[in-house]
Structure 1
């Protein structure tokens, strides 16, 4: 009985021992298993840490620092450009003939004006007028046509409409018929009727004597305003028409092309009191001798002072044929004989500085 009981106890203990062994085996397996599993996990962690170490990328971060000088070069470039800006006035001075100084330019320009004053002692506006109103209307009509054509047209216009009030109330079609010979007659009709209305309504039918008031009139710009101020009111002004622009550039008085800038540049060379007569001298010379296409250089009284001498005909006999004289019966508008401009040998003196 004891043996049986012992056998039973042994078997029971064996059964108990078996699960215990299994538990220990499982524990040992569990201990071994995690170790085996942790190893790849650690490898993964180290593998994950390696790319993380690349994030600082000191080499890449230093690359933008190497490109930093590029913007510095761009900053230096404008400084070089601004340093070269003061060289502009030097070009203006070099544009004068033979490197002419400012003082020499002033002297030459004034001498040219004195010479022209002797050739055209009676230079005056070539538009016929009896009062400021007629002068402002005639000057507006002179655009894109000759003064002679305007003088042939205005007598009929002023006979029918003698005052601003009369012209302001005129029938546009009737005015157009009168102004047709001057060209652009529709636009000119609109301008002269418009300025007449402005004179009647704003200035009591009188032409104002101020530049700021004149330029407000329809069809009246600075050129027309200075013609009126200088010749109707005795107030100095420079008339920059096509002849004036051509000649002052040909004489190297200025390189400007804008009329307002030409007016300022030339005005700085002369006393203000000379401006009106200067305008007449230059315009008369441009119409009679210093033509646009073929100037009569061989018969020019200011040839020794002109840097453009030689652009036109230099032979005296051929140059004489290019001169334009006014019709007889207009005293004061005739030129001196061409021989008066020539030296003893029958030729004009060469320009200053010529060989």
Structure 2
């Protein structure tokens, strides 16, 4: 990668560039008041294979009916799946959420402990959702890598990885922990709106000077 690359400078440029665009879904929901670890974990499950434009309204519809494990367990699987309509695999997600709520009530008195190992032991919760829910709800350091983050940092030449899971591990080695939550907060909307998968906006990109443009053959 380019020898004068400064992550602090790059992230500050990106923060300014993404101001006109919608925030990533879970950060948006946090600002709306849905700040508990349970709520953030549910919204991350909603977001799996689902666009933010759908994740936010589906999450809001869900939270009108249930915001705590006890409230969620008052719903049947069919009622919950109906609330999740519009997201991918609503029936499967309903079963996942009910399982999480049941463990939260039976094992933890209705409040999920803010522990990565505990969250990833919940059926249907992987590293991405665990890190993102913890980072957004508690500020706990964690890197969440979706397809946008994966693409952006590889395009820069900052890491050289094939899968998001590999990218997460590589970023944990390079990025200071105090910046971990910012990785998803900034790079998700940046990758969605500027450093896009096809025809990225290289001609107007605020960090082009530090980007190796790995894999870019055509751009705007």
The residue that corresponds to 1:117 in the other structure is 15
Secondary structure, counterpart of 1:198 in structure 2: helix
1:179 aligns with 2:78: no
The residue that corresponds to 1:294 in the other structure is 199
Which of 25, 46, 50 is 1:126 aligned to? 25
In structure 2, what is the Cα distance between the partners aligned to 1:269 and 1:113?
Answer: 14
1:211 aligns with 2:116: yes
Which of 217, 226, 243 is 2:148 aligned to? 243
Shift of 1:260: 3.4
In structure 2, what is the Cα distance between the partners aligned to 1:237 and 1:139?
Answer: 14
Q: Is the 8 A contact 1:110 1:270 kept in 2?
A: no
Structure 1 segments unaligned to the other structure (5+ residues): 1-96, 315-355
Q: Is the 8 A contact 2:11 2:186 kept in 1?
A: yes
Q: Is the 8 A contact 2:134 2:140 kept in 1?
A: yes
1:263 aligns with 2:168: yes
Shift of 1:125: 4.2
Q: Larger C-alpha radius of gyration, 1 or 2?
A: 1
What TM-score comes out, normalization by structure 2 length? 0.87
Q: Is the 8 A contact 1:109 1:253 kept in 2?
A: no
The residue that corresponds to 1:229 in the other structure is 134
The residue that corresponds to 2:217 in the other structure is 311
What TM-score comes out, normalization by structure 1 length? 0.55
In structure 2, what is the Cα distance between the partners aligned to 1:291 and 1:277?
Answer: 19
Structure 2 segments unaligned to the other structure (5+ residues): none
Cα RMSD after superposing both structures: 2.2
Shift of 1:239: 0.8
Secondary structure, counterpart of 1:282 in structure 2: helix
Q: How many residues are paired up? A: 212
Q: How does 1:315-354 map to 2 (within 5 A)?
A: none
The residue that corresponds to 2:60 in the other structure is 155
Answer 1 or 2: higher relative contact order, Cα 8 Å, separation at least 6: 2
In structure 2, what is the Cα distance between the partners aligned to 1:189 and 1:252?
Answer: 39
In structure 1, what is the Cα distance between the partners aligned to 2:7 and 2:100?
Answer: 36
In structure 1, what is the Cα distance between the partners aligned to 2:172 and 2:108?
Answer: 30
The residue that corresponds to 1:349 in the other structure is none
Secondary structure, counterpart of 2:84 in structure 1: helix
Structure with more helix by fraction? 1
Q: Is the 8 A contact 2:46 2:58 kept in 1?
A: no
Shift of 1:111: 3.3
Deviations 1:279-330 (A, max 9, x none): 211112101111112211122111111111863434xxxxxxxxxxxxxxxx
Q: Is the 8 A contact 1:295 1:311 kept in 2?
A: no
Q: Is the 8 A contact 2:143 2:184 kept in 1?
A: yes
Cα–Cα, structure 1 residues 156 and 126, in superposed 2: closer, same or farther, change >3 Å?
closer
The residue that corresponds to 2:98 in the other structure is 193
